[in-house]
Amino acid sequence: MSRAWRGIGGLVAVVLLLTGCASGAAAGADPRTPDGRIRVVASSDVWGSIVDDVGAGRVAVTSILDSPAKDPHEYQATVRDRLSVSRAALVVENGGGYDDFLRRLSEGTGGVVLDAVRLSGRDAAGPGFNEHVWYDLPTVDRVADAVSAVLQRKDPPHRADFRAALARFHAATAALAREEAGIRRVAGGRGVAVTEPVPLYVTAACGLVNRTPAGFSSAVEDGRDVPPGVLESQLHLVASHAVAVLAVNEQTEGPMTDRITAAARAAHVPVVGFRETLPESGTYLGMFHAELAALSAAVAR
């Protein structure tokens, strides 16, 4: 698909400063549903699931990228997307060049726009920047805090509900961080190869060292041909067991990724998949937990 996570008071100021917050959605639009829920648009169902978790049942979330068939870099907004954004009180985008279509859609509307990359504090223009920040738990916690701050301001009578939902979400992400730490104790310092940069925040948090040859994952992500020497280096990594696991974007297919995956399986190197959108009927927290469980089992072999 791709070419290829505290202080609420302080975060309100961050939201106002960074996102061009206004008092409501576009003129004439209703930022609430008939039953009083706050309308939110998220660029992907991953961010949409996070908003749902901290929204305490008081949000109506529309997620635009909700299937592997929708490439964020090439996605063409529909009339329905434009209508959803024009009526939203809050828009949550990934940022960092990942979902520019939503930045363009939200220009001129009155809703709050939260950019996950900007909230992360990471330099999107820096070398080796990885835009897939939903796999960075500290960033996700910051986005959840910012979302909750906006919702509390938009719906003060339900402030306590939003705070309780946020506390539950932080407890869940803390549990995921403990899972990462458990993998790090077992596998810290061992190698990992990737087909795309998607899982690199997770593998780094788990103490795995990225040994992917320079240029391989970026070429796959950008849809370019992998240089023959780089391909051979990647194949040698898995065939020689220089890595403990191959981490792949399970929503993409192509000759290079298929060849690397086949080589890893032939060498009995575990292959673990990571995603850019949710599995059917899945949630962000559930998906992340399942991926960490698979990674834990892989490095324990």
pLDDT tens for 57-103 read 999 999 999 998 898 988 999 999 999 999 999 999 999 999 999 99
Burial class (CB in 10 A: 0-12, 13-18, 19+), 210: middle
Question: Does position 279 have pLDDT exceeding 90, yes or no?
Answer: yes
Burial class (CB in 10 A: 0-12, 13-18, 19+), 5: buried
Mean local confidence (pLDDT), 198-214: 96
**What percent of the chain has a predicted confidence (pLDDT) above 90?**
78
**Residue ranges of the chain assigned to CATH 3.40.50.1980:** 8-176, 177-299
Please count the other Cβ atoms lying within 10 Å of the Cβ belonging to residue 233.
Answer: 19
Could you give the strand order of the β-sheet that contains 191-194, starting from the edge strand earlier in sequence? 209-210, 191-194, 245-249, 271-274
Tell how far CA 176 is from the center of its chain: 15
Question: Does position 256 have pLDDT exceeding 80, yes or no?
Answer: yes
Highest-pLDDT range among 48-57, 67-76, 125-134: 48-57
* Distance separating alpha carbons of residues 266 and 220, to the nearest angstrom: 21
Fold exhibited by the domain 177-299: Rossmann fold (3.40.50)
Question: What's the first-to-final CA gap in the chain, in angstroms?
Answer: 29
**What percent of the chain has a predicted confidence (pLDDT) above 70?**
90
**Model confidence, pTM:** 0.89
- Average of per-residue pLDDT values in the chain: 90
3-class SS of residue 238: helix
Which letter does DSSP use for residue 93 in this model? Answer: E
**How confident is residue 241, by pLDDT bands cut at 50, 70 and 90?**
very high
Query: For residues 218 and 187, which has the higher predicted lDDT (pLDDT)?
Result: 187
What is the reported pLDDT for 29? 65
What is the reported pLDDT for 224? 83
From the options 3.30.70.1140, 3.40.50.720, 3.40.640.10, 3.40.50.1980, give the CATH code of 8-176: 3.40.50.1980
Query: For residues 250 and 51, which has the higher predicted lDDT (pLDDT)?
Result: 51
* Distance separating alpha carbons of residues 82 and 104, to the nearest angstrom: 10
Question: Does position 26 have pLDDT exceeding 70, yes or no?
Answer: no
